[in-house]
């Protein structure tokens, strides 16, 4: 049974049309945990391909002024019934998304948040470009494209990668300016990945399955992924593995998974300056919880002040790895615990060798 999770209509059951692919509970919960924190005064919410209205009606229940766009006749009828049952005031536009975006731009409409979860199979790249070109998201607003993919993950998480793209550029008319055309990944792993070169930075001391899950998912959606291992001489005595050892572990894991578009490098100093040197403008980071986001939000803003002003994409951690951290892995391994289920084989082997040499 699909229900509204929070706000004034919490617990209200929703009817689901045959054509809908409702966003998973975990995705909706993570999305609105973030939005409550980021937009305490709420604003205007645009739900494209609204389907059952699970996301759009959730936004209305949380206090957003919501517009739902859906062309399927049964879905439109169910949206009206669901909104009436939940006693929520929403605007329902029964037209194709492309037509609505053209009209919204003509009227000068602006939204604080735009959510897009097209049905499968669908060209998310084309839709996302169309959304950016319409320029209907206000400066400081957010775009949340949910990318469908098959098969569904075994851990029961979201049926795809959830990416959050904050817009910080202000155009002359106050609208948010997006990334360059053709620079967003396709949703289908069998299709062209686009042209975007992204950097996934971290200490990776050591690499665990949460890290590697992000690497694998990013490699499916972006043309090139550089895993950038931090070199920090001031903390040399605190690392278990040297930067070069960490690079070797990651390279072995990447080679085993045959990720041909992933490379591994080291960097020191400002991340944004390193990215400028290698010609990348997008950072990819994994998020396990809202507590991670608070720190990552600060880092994203700081990074944008330097180098080539990189944007940050966030990928939600898979459910099965959301509790894993490098610190925990090292502690378990030091006390003789089995970490083989928490790390790639390359890491497990390196940990055995490193800790056995320390004991000697």
For the annotated catalytic residues, the residue numbers are 211, 235, 288, 326
The CA distance from 82 to 15, in Å, is 7
Indicate the SS3 state at residue 265.
Answer: strand
The CA distance from 338 to 336, in Å, is 7
Beta strand pairing call for 311-316 and 65-69: unpaired
> Residue 128 burial (CB < 10 Å; 0-12/13-18/19+)?
buried
Tokens of 293: 């986001």
Indicate the SS3 state at residue 223.
Answer: coil
- Yes or no: say if 101 and 46 are a contact pair by the CB < 8 Å rule: no
**Ramachandran quadrant class, 325 (left: phi over 0; alpha: psi -120 to 50; beta: rest):** beta
Place of tokens 């099965």: 320
- Yes or no: say if 42 and 64 are a contact pair by the CB < 8 Å rule: yes
CA nearest 284: which of 208, 347, 357, 221?
A: 221
Backbone φ, ψ for residue 208 (5° rounding): -125, 180
- Yes or no: say if 137 and 54 are a contact pair by the CB < 8 Å rule: no
DSSP run (H or E) holding 300: helix 290-303
Indicate the SS3 state at residue 66.
Answer: strand
Beta bridge mates, 265: 228
């Amino acid at each position: 049974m699909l229900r509204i999770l929070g706000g004034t209509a919490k617990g209200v059951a929703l009817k689901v049309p045959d054509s809908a692919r409702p966003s998973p509970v975990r995705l909706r919960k993570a999305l609105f945990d973030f939005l409550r924190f980021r937009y305490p005064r709420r604003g205007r919410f645009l739900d494209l391909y609204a389907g059952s209205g699970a996301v759009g009606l959730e936004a209305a229940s949380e206090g957003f002024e919501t517009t739902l766009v859906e062309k399927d006749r049964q879905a439109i009828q169910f949206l009206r019934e669901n909104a009436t049952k939940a006693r929520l005031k929403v605007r329902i536009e029964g037209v194709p998304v492309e037509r609505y975006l053209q009209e919204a731009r003509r009227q000068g409409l602006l939204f604080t948040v735009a959510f897009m979860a097209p049905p499968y199979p669908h060209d998310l790249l084309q839709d996302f470009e169309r959304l950016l070109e319409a320029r209907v998201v206000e400066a400081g607003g957010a775009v949340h494209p949910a990318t469908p993919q098959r098969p569904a993950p075994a851990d029961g998480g979201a049926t795809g990668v959830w990416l959050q793209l904050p817009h910080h550029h202000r155009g002359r008319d106050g609208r948010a300016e997006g990334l360059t055309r053709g620079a967003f990944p396709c949703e289908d792993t069998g299709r062209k990945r686009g042209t975007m070169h992204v950097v996934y930075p971290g200490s990776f001391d050591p690499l665990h399955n949460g890290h590697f899950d992000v690497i694998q998912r990013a490699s499916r959606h972006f043309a090139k992924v550089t895993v950038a291992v931090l070199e920090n001489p001031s903390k040399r005595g605190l690392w278990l593995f040297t930067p070069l050892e960490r690079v070797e572990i990651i390279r072995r894991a990447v080679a085993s998974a045959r990720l041909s578009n992933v490379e591994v490098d080291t960097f020191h100093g400002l991340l944004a300056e390193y990215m400028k040197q290698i010609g990348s403008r997008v950072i990819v980071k994994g998020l396990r919880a809202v507590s991670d986001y608070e720190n990552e939000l600060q880092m994203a803003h700081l990074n944008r002040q330097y180098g080539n002003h990189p944007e940050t994409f966030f990928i939600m951690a898979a459910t099965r790895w959301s509790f894993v951290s490098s610190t925990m892995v090292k502690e378990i391994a030091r006390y003789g615990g089995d970490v083989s289920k928490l790390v790639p084989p390359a890491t497990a082997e390196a940990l055995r060798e490193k800790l056995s040499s320390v004991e000697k």
